Amino acid sequence: MKNWSVRLRIQASFAIIIAIMLLMAVTSYVRLFTVQKGAERLAEDAMPGMFLITQVRSAWTDVFIQTLERLGASDQPLEKVDLDNLRLLDERLNGVLADYRKTVRDDNDLALLENFNQSRKRYDAILSTVIELHQQKRLGEARSLLTGDLTKLWNEGRNDLTELISYNRKTAEGATGDIVDAARNAELSMIVSVLLAIAAAFVCGALLVRAITEPVQRVVQNLQALASGDLTARLHLGRKDEFDSIETGFNSMAEELKSLVSQAQRSSVQVTTSVTEIAATTRQQQATATETAATTTEIGATSREIAATSRDLVRTMTEVSGAAEQTSTLAGSGQLGLARMEDTMRQVMGAADLVNAKLAILNEKAGNINQVVTTIVKVADQTNLLSLNAAIEAEKAGEYGRGFAVVATEVRRLADQTAVATYDIEQMVREIQSAVSAGVMGMDKFSEEVRRGMSEVGQVGEQLSQIIQQVQALAPRVQMVNEGMQAQSTGAEQINQALVQLGEATGQTVESLRQASSAIDELNHVAQGLRAGVSRFKV
C-alpha cells in the first residue's frame, strides 16, 4: 500500500465506503422484502381469512337456528316460504365459503376446510331426511334426528370452523411477528452498516490525511529553505505516487533556480560596468541637444513674427474680399427682390382690377335684391289686404266663419312680419351698395399708388445694377492681392511649422536623453540592488 498513488488511495477509500453502503442496501432490501411478503400474507390471507371464516361460522349458526325454529317449534309441515328461507341461508353460506376458498394459500388451511365440508355434507344429508320426515308428519323421528345426529354434526362443523379461525389467527400472528422481526433486523443491519461506514470513512480519511500531510510538510520545509536563500536544498520523499512527480519537479526547479542565480550574479557585474559607460555618453549627448534646442528656439521666434505679420495682412485682405463679395451678393439679392416686388405689384394691380369687377357685379346683384324686396313688399301689402277682406267676410259669416277669421288674422300677422323683414333687407342692401361704392373708390386709389411704386422700383433696380457692376469689377483685383498674401502667409507658416517641429524634435531629444539618463541611474541602482540581492543566495 506504500507504493499506491494518492488517486488510488482515494478511490480505494470511496470503494470501501460504497461497498459497505451497497451491503447495507442489499441487507435492507432483503429485510424489506421479508416485510413485504409478510404484509402480503397478512393482507391477502390471514386478515381476509379471519374475517370470512367468522362470516362462515355466523352463517352456519344462522342455518342451524333457523332449522330449529322451523322444525323443532312447529308440528305443521313446512311451507314454501320456510323452505325458501332455508335455501337462502344455505346459499349465503355457500357464497361466504366460496369467498374464503379464494383466500386459502397453504395445505393445512385447505385440509381444515375440507373437514368442514365433509361435516357439512353429512349435515345436509341428515337435514334433508329430517325435513322429509317432518313433511310426512313423522314428528317423533324428525325431532329425534334433529336433536341427535343433526345437532352433533352441527357441533362438529362449528368445531371445524373454530379450528379454522384459530389457524387464521395464528397465521396472522405469525405474519405480524415476521414483519416485526424483519423490521428489527433491518434496523439493526442499517445501524451496523452506518457504524461500519463511519468507521471506514474515519480510518480511510486518517490514512489519506497521513499520506498527504507528511510529504506536504517536507515540501513546505524545503520551500522555506529556498525562500531563505539556500539553493542547495533538495527534496527526498521516497514515494512512488504523485509526490514522486512533485519531488522531481521541485529538484529540477531548484537546479534551474541555482543556475539562474549564478548567471544573475555574473551578469550583475557586467550590467553595472555597462551602465556607467552609457551614463557618461548620455550626458554628453544631452549637452549638445540642449544647445541645438536654444538655437532652434531663437530662429522659431523670428519666423513666428514674420508669420504673424503675414497672417494679419491675409486676414485684412480676406475681410476686404469678403465685404466685396457680400456687397455684390446683397446687391444681387436686392435686385432680385425688386424684380419680385415689381411682379407682385403687377399681380396686385390685376387683383385690384378683378376686385373692382367683382364689386361692380356685387352692386348689380344688390340692385336686383332691392327689386326683389320691392316685389315682396307689394306681395305683403296685397296679402295684408286680402287677409283684411277675409276677416270682414268671416264677420259676415258669423259663427261659421270664426275659424276662417283666425286664419285671416294669422295671415295678416305674417304679412306684417314679412313687411318688417323686407324693410330690414332693403336697409342692409343699401348699406352693401354704399360699402361697395366706397370699396371701388379705394381700389382705384390703391391701383394708382401701385403704378407709382412700380415706376420707383424700376429706377432703384437700374441703380442696383450699376452698383453690382462696380463691385464685380473690384472683386477680381482684391482676389489677386489676397492670393499673393495667402501664398506669403503659407510660406511663413511652413517655415514656422518646420522650425516648431525641429524645436519639438530637439526638445524631445533633450527630454529623451534626460529620461535615458534617469533610466540609466535607475538601472544602475537596480543593477546594484540585483547584485546585492543575488549575493545572499548560497549556490
* pLDDT digits 0-9 by tens, 269-323: 676 777 677 767 767 766 776 776 677 677 667 667 766 776 776 677 677 667 6
Q: Has residue 341 been placed in a domain?
A: yes
Torsion of Cα atoms, 439 then 440 then 445 then 447, to 10°: 110
Q: Has residue 122 been placed in a domain?
A: yes
Last residue of a domain, one of 202, 235, 265: 202
Most confident by average pLDDT, 42-46, 234-238, 419-423: 419-423
Asked whether residue 196 falls in the same domain as residue 262, the answer is: no
Q: Has residue 304 been placed in a domain?
A: yes
Distance CA 233, CA 263 (A): 19
pLDDT reading at 476 higher than 60: yes
Last residue of a domain, one of 202, 224, 241: 202
Least confident of 130-134, 141-145, 187-191, 275-279: 275-279
Asked whether residue 173 falls in the same domain as residue 286, the answer is: no
SS3 233: coil
Asked whether residue 184 falls in the same domain as residue 261, the answer is: no
Instruction: Report the candidate in 516, 518, 513, 512 with the shortest Cα–Cα distance to residue 286.
Output: 513
Q: Has residue 209 been placed in a domain?
A: no
Q: Give the CATH number of the domain where residue 396 resides.
A: 1.10.287.950
Asked whether residue 173 falls in the same domain as residue 268, the answer is: no
List Cα–Cα distances, 209 to 198, 201, 202, 217, 218, in angstroms: 16, 12, 10, 12, 14
Domain count, the chain: 2
Q: Give the CATH number of the domain where residue 22 resides.
A: 1.20.120.1730
Asked whether residue 163 falls in the same domain as residue 84, the answer is: yes
Distance CA 146, CA 66 (A): 12
Residue bearing the bigger pLDDT, 12 or 44: 12
> What is the pLDDT averaged over residues 118-125?
87
> What is the pLDDT averaged over residues 107-127?
86
Residue bearing the bigger pLDDT, 333 or 310: 333
> What is the pLDDT averaged over residues 17-25?
81
* pLDDT tens sequence across 363-375: 787 778 778 778 8
Is residue 442 very low, low, confident or very high in pLDDT (cuts 50, 70, 90)? confident
91 is written with which cell numbers?
346459499
pLDDT at position 445:
80
Least confident of 150-164, 420-434, 514-528: 514-528
Q: Has residue 230 been placed in a domain?
A: no
Q: Has residue 238 been placed in a domain?
A: no
Asked whether residue 197 falls in the same domain as residue 291, the answer is: no
Is residue 43 very low, low, confident or very high in pLDDT (cuts 50, 70, 90)? low
Distance of alpha carbon 513 from the chain centroid: 60
pLDDT at position 102:
84
Asked whether residue 261 falls in the same domain as residue 196, the answer is: no
Mean pLDDT of the chain: 76
Most confident by average pLDDT, 12-16, 60-64, 309-313, 377-381: 60-64
Asked whether residue 292 falls in the same domain as residue 359, the answer is: yes
Instruction: Report the candidate in 80, 60, 59 with the shortest Cα–Cα distance to residue 70.
Output: 80
> What is the pLDDT averaged over residues 385-409?
76
Asked whether residue 345 falls in the same domain as residue 485, the answer is: yes
> What is the pLDDT averaged over residues 54-60?
85
Angle at 288 between CA 283 and CA 289, to 5 degrees: 95
Residue bearing the bigger pLDDT, 503 or 101: 101
Least confident of 55-59, 194-198, 297-301, 435-439: 297-301
- Share of residues in the chain with pLDDT > 90 (%): 1
SS3 538: strand
Q: Has residue 483 been placed in a domain?
A: yes
* Contact status, residue 130 vs residue 83, Cβ threshold 8 Å: no
pLDDT reading at 158 higher than 70: yes
- Share of residues in the chain with pLDDT > 70 (%): 78
> What is the pLDDT averaged over residues 249-256?
78
Last residue of a domain, one of 140, 172, 202: 202
pLDDT reading at 408 higher than 80: no
Most confident by average pLDDT, 197-201, 298-302, 528-532: 197-201
Angle at 200 between CA 199 and CA 205, to 5 degrees: 100
Distance CA 218, CA 64 (A): 98
* Contact status, residue 16 vs residue 192, Cβ threshold 8 Å: no
Distance CA 120, CA 60 (A): 9
pLDDT at position 489:
66
pLDDT at position 389:
82
pLDDT reading at 208 higher than 60: yes
272 is written with which cell numbers?
553595472
pLDDT reading at 240 higher than 80: no
CB atoms near residue 103 (< 10 Å): 18
pLDDT reading at 89 higher than 80: yes
pLDDT at position 325:
74
Residue bearing the bigger pLDDT, 376 or 163: 163
Is residue 337 very low, low, confident or very high in pLDDT (cuts 50, 70, 90)? confident
Q: Has residue 218 been placed in a domain?
A: no
Phi, psi of 230 (to 5 degrees): -85, 100
Phi, psi of 538 (to 5 degrees): -95, 115
Asked whether residue 155 falls in the same domain as residue 280, the answer is: no
Q: How many CA atoms lie within 13 A of 334 on its CB side?
A: 18
Asked whether residue 193 falls in the same domain as residue 290, the answer is: no
> What is the pLDDT averaged over residues 94-112?
84
**What residue numbers bound the domain in which 154 lies?**
6-202
pLDDT at position 41:
60
Asked whether residue 180 falls in the same domain as residue 267, the answer is: no
* pLDDT tens sequence across 216-237: 777 787 777 777 777 777 777 6
